[in-house]
Amino acid sequence: MSTVVLVPAAGRGERLGHGMPKALVPVRGVALLVHAVRGLLNAGRVRHVVVAAPPAEVGATEALLREHGLRAEVVPGGADRTESVRLALRHALAVHPDVRVVLVHDAARAFTPPAVVDAVVAAVEAGAPAVIPVLPMADTVKRVDIDEVVQDTPDRAALRVVQTPQGFAVDTLSRAYALAGDSATDDAGLVEKLGVPVLAIPGHPYAMKITTPFDLAIAEAVLAGEGP
Ligand code: CTP
Ligand code: MG
């Protein structure tokens, strides 16, 4: 049974505001993508990694990963995350026809512990067609209308914050992407539309998505405590 991780890393990182693709922004001197791919390859159950890079950065991304001794295949990404995942999936299916489990993991979640990655793969191998790592909600959540007037307060106990890597039986993800429109930000959401059950397992605070300068500061602080 072969496991491939697709890593959408073709975003522009506009909210981070570093003037470069987010995947290339350094944390403690090393690009986020390098941290992300290293974590994936440190997971014992991962065989192949396919990175969707900004089209203009494919060569530089290959060189960067090689320089850090990381084995990954790099393909040009698309205009939105959905397209980047679709392109990486197409490559993975063509080059690794024996793949049984496909994970999708945001490069922006660069410090996800390898144990979370392995737990997602294990749950798919155990028979779940779709698996997502989640955390409980720390804050109360309100639903508001277009005028910011509160409509109701969902029961927090039944809510979860969703992380990546999300794991899928290969046929399930292929079917979901065959039907997907544009700009889905959540792969499991596409699978839900097929009526396929999605299993939630425990995520980890380190799997946070680095979106804003504040998130980057937290990542720097976490790594300062952990060492490289
Ligand atoms: N992504 C991608 N291709 C795109 C857009 C996004 O592969 N065309 C990836 C990003 O590189 C990131 C993940 O999808 O790893 C989640 O997206 P997000 O956090 O929104 O990253 P960016 O799009 O880079 O950030 P921003 O929206 O602030 O520009
Ligand atoms: Mg984005």
How far does the centroid of ligand 1 lie from the alpha carbon of residue 50, in Å? Answer: 16
204 in Cβ contact with 210 (< 8 Å): no
Question: Which ipTM score applies to this complex?
Answer: 0.98
What value does the mean pLDDT of the chain take?
94
Provide the phi-psi class of 13: left if phi over 0, else alpha when psi is between -120 and 50, else beta.
Answer: left
Residue-wise pLDDT for 171-222, tens only, equals 999 999 998 776 667 899 999 999 999 999 999 999 999 999 999 999 999 8
Look at ligand 1, atom 13, and give the residue with the nearest C-alpha: 106
- 154 is a domain residue: no
In the chain, the number of structural domains is 1
141 in Cβ contact with 42 (< 8 Å): no
What local confidence, expressed as pLDDT, does residue 1 receive? 67
How far does the centroid of ligand 1 lie from the alpha carbon of residue 106, in Å? Answer: 8
- 208 is a domain residue: yes
Q: Which domain holds residue 47?
A: 2-130+163-226
**Cα dihedral sign, 202-43-30-49:** negative
pLDDT at 55 over 80: yes
Is pTM, for the whole model, over 0.90? yes
Question: Residues lining ligand 2 (ion), CB within 5 A?
Answer: 11
pLDDT at 117 over 90: yes
- 141 is a domain residue: no
- 212 is a domain residue: yes
Mean of pLDDT values over 14-37: 94
- 73 is a domain residue: yes
What local confidence, expressed as pLDDT, does residue 228 receive? 46
Tokens of 181: 């429109």
pLDDT at 225 over 80: no
